[in-house]
Amino acid sequence: MSDLLPSLSQIQTTTVDHLTGLAADFTAEADLIERCFTDAHELMGTVCWQGQAFDAAYARTDSDRATAVGLAEQRRDAAKIAQLGAENMLLARAAALSVVEEGHAAGFEVSEGLSMSAYTPGRPLEQAMRLQAAATALTAELRAQAASMVAIDKDTTTKLAAATAGFGSLRFTEAPLYTRGSPTTNRHNGVQLVDHTWKQGPDQPNAPAGPSAADIQGVTKDLPRGTSPDIKLVQTQQQLENLYKWASQHGTQIPDPYGPQPGTAYMLPDGTRIGMRAAADSTKLPALDIKYPGPNGAYEKVHINAAEGAAPQIPSVRAPVEAAPPAAGEPAPPPAAPRAEPAPVEPPPVRPAPVEPPPPVAPPRVSGGGSGIGGGGGAGIPGLGIGGIHTPVGEVE
């Protein structure tokens, strides 16, 4: 439809099939893209595979899924623009035809150029002159409705061109996502630690998990509703940024989530996607887009409206409790003494080996006729176990 006003016949034959068809096509493409990449990622998680190669493959499919979800959301946004344009066009067309019917009911002639005249065949001139003012007023109203149709067509075309500008420029991240322990940078011989780190102390407590889909919905459900059920309202941009910062923690950033348009987005561990656009189409202010997980996951937006919005009730995050510093003027507590090591255990003393009894002593042997001093030899000394002492006879004094 050109900038010139349409003719009466063009208004009567105007259709919006091209817009409703685009909306249906964009929605179907978005569902197909999201389903394919989500199925691929979920299928990867079902394989019996562990190790760095699996971690890298799983991270890759998750990153690709996040990118694809962003592309699907772009198509859903374009579908909404087309659908809204079709609805507005039908409303403007109905309003224009209503003015035409009003002119016909008053007996006015409606031309192709959207002008009405009271000068019709068979009407007295004086009556026609009296009614022409009403005909002129209806002419202005009819042309205003026709101009509205032109403006709606132009606005819808401009928004669709901007929303679809990045459809053909999708690029997946090619750089490695899982670099820890890659073969090219960590190749070595010998023993390799399972987690590439030495254990140097007690286990640290796990960091608190970030908000889930249920946590985010628990905050947005209490916000005032906007122009549709899927739009919630906050009062200020700072409130919007605080909500985005809280909800996106522990998420994986999605590259180029809005194509050529400025904005950031994160994919949370449970599959929730939350993004922040620089400007919403309706408010021209920053806005949040939240897509909850699952094939039928809800889609929600958060806009800024100072008059009707409310502050989101964001749960506080409890920080780790640290020991309070000593009061002014008080000495700092001394460091704890090192734990006393137990004294070494001495081995038991070595017990001496048992003393064996002496061998039995042979009974003394007596030489024949001797007294043990002379003769053939002396008798042995009892108890010493040695033989008798032999002394020559000639040396006895």
Number of Cβ within 10 Å of residue 227's Cβ equals 10
Range in 27-41, 272-286, 366-380 the model is least confident about: 366-380
* pLDDT surpassing 60 at residue 63: yes
State residue 296's pLDDT score. 63
Residues 6+ apart with CB under 8 A from 332: 326
pLDDT band of residue 135 (cuts 50, 70, 90) is: very high
Q: Are 222 and 233 in contact (CB under 8 A)?
A: no
The DSSP code for 393 is G
What beta strand segments (E) does the chain contain?
A: 109-110, 116-117, 231-234, 252-253, 263-267, 273-277, 287-291, 299-304
State residue 173's pLDDT score. 64
| Residue 117 phi, psi dihedral angles, 5° rounding | -135, 140
* pLDDT surpassing 50 at residue 153: yes
Of the two residues 359 and 188, the one the predictor is more confident about is: 359
* pLDDT surpassing 60 at residue 355: no
Of the two residues 255 and 116, the one the predictor is more confident about is: 116
End-to-end CA distance of the chain: 167
Rounded to 10 deg, the angle between the 237-247 and 213-220 helix axes is 160
What is the rounded average pLDDT of the residues 165-170?
76
Of the two residues 143 and 382, the one the predictor is more confident about is: 143
| Residue 253 phi, psi dihedral angles, 5° rounding | -70, 140
State residue 323's pLDDT score. 47
pLDDT band of residue 352 (cuts 50, 70, 90) is: low
Range in 98-107, 208-217, 245-254 the model is least confident about: 208-217
pLDDT band of residue 322 (cuts 50, 70, 90) is: very low
What is the rounded average pLDDT of the residues 358-380?
45
Query: What percentage of the chain exceeds 90 in pLDDT?
Result: 42
User: Hey, which residues does 117 pair with through a beta bridge?
Assistant: 109
- Maximum Cα interatomic distance, the chain, rounded to a whole number of Å: 202
* pLDDT surpassing 70 at residue 319: no
* pLDDT surpassing 70 at residue 51: yes
* pLDDT surpassing 70 at residue 6: yes
Residue 196 CA to residue 224 CA, distance in Å, equals 50
State residue 3's pLDDT score. 64
What is the rounded average pLDDT of the residues 239-262?
87
Q: What is the pLDDT of residues 80-131, one digit of tens each?
A: 999 999 999 999 999 999 999 999 999 999 999 999 999 999 899 999 999 9
Q: Are 153 and 34 in contact (CB under 8 A)?
A: no
Residues 6+ apart with CB under 8 A from 226: 232, 233, 301, 303, 305, 308
Whether the full predicted model's pTM is greater than 0.75, yes or no, is no
What is the rounded average pLDDT of the residues 177-201?
48
Mean pLDDT of the chain: 77
Residue 371 CA to residue 379 CA, distance in Å, equals 8
Q: Are strands 273-277 and 287-291 parallel, antiparallel or unpaired?
A: antiparallel
State residue 233's pLDDT score. 96
Range in 41-45, 81-85, 287-291 the model is least confident about: 41-45
Of the two residues 381 and 299, the one the predictor is more confident about is: 299
* pLDDT surpassing 60 at residue 380: no
